[in-house]
Amino acid sequence: MRFIHDFIIFLLAFLSLALASPVADHNSAAAELIDADIKAGEVSAVEAAPGAVTIVNHLRVPVYLWSVDTHQSPMITLEPMWGAHKESYRFSPKPNGGVSIKIAAGTPDITNVLQFEYTRTNDKVYRDMSTINLRPGSEFVRNAFALIPGDESNCPMIYCRSDDCPGVYHKPNDDHATYGCPVGVDMMLMLGF
């Protein structure tokens, strides 16, 4: 019964956000996908309007974020139980470079993070999730998290609960968890539910 309650809360949060207007990274995997799309003629010269990722904290502890490309942003704090942050996909100053949003729970420790990583092109965003720099026993390990795209037809959802966490990078040489999505797709990263 608790799962149903939590799922309903999750859906309400998702709908409200949808209606409202470097440690290890995987930029090389994204660069390979970009190169493959260029060769296949799938990357256009016309720039599409970017989507955004919204990170929602449903944990009972604060969550700390750093958005990192060639520079690290100031730390952003998300309050427990519904603190949120929205970031539009942006280009990295480094050619074929990417952005890593590093996410720590409970304490602002940038060495113990879950990462949402993306590389933006004119019409796609290549994204992945990484638990490589996440220590055992983390709030993210004990609680579920999900990355939910606004359109799953071209961009798969990621759902992780405890040790069952397919579709994310668990070690540096995983090269299966980068997905190319239309750049206009909004995503929500729900932490804990």
For residues 19-46, b (16+ Cβ closer than 10 Å) or e, as one string?
Answer: eeeeeebbbebbbebbeebeeeeebeee
Comparing CA positions, the residue from 51, 38, 23 lying closest to residue 117 is: 23
Encode the chain (193 residues) as per-residue pLDDT tens digits. Answer: 444 444 544 444 444 444 333 444 445 555 555 555 545 445 444 556 889 999 999 999 999 999 999 999 999 999 999 999 999 999 999 988 999 999 999 999 999 999 999 999 989 999 999 999 999 888 997 899 999 999 888 899 999 987 678 888 888 877 778 889 999 999 999 999 7
The residue type at 20: A
Please state the φ and ψ torsions of residue 142, each to the nearest 5 degrees.
Answer: -75, -25
Integer-rounded Cα radius of gyration of the chain: 16
Q: What is the pLDDT of residues 14-24, one digit of tens each?
A: 444 443 334 44
pLDDT value for 170: 84
pLDDT value for 30: 53
pLDDT value for 105: 97
Residue 182, Cβ density class (10 Å: 0-12 exposed, 13-18 middle, ≥19 buried): middle
For residues 70-92, b (16+ Cβ closer than 10 Å) or e, as one string?
Answer: eeeeeebebeeeebbbebebebb
pLDDT value for 43: 46
Domains of the chain: 2-191 (2.60.110)
Q: What is the pTM of this model?
A: 0.76
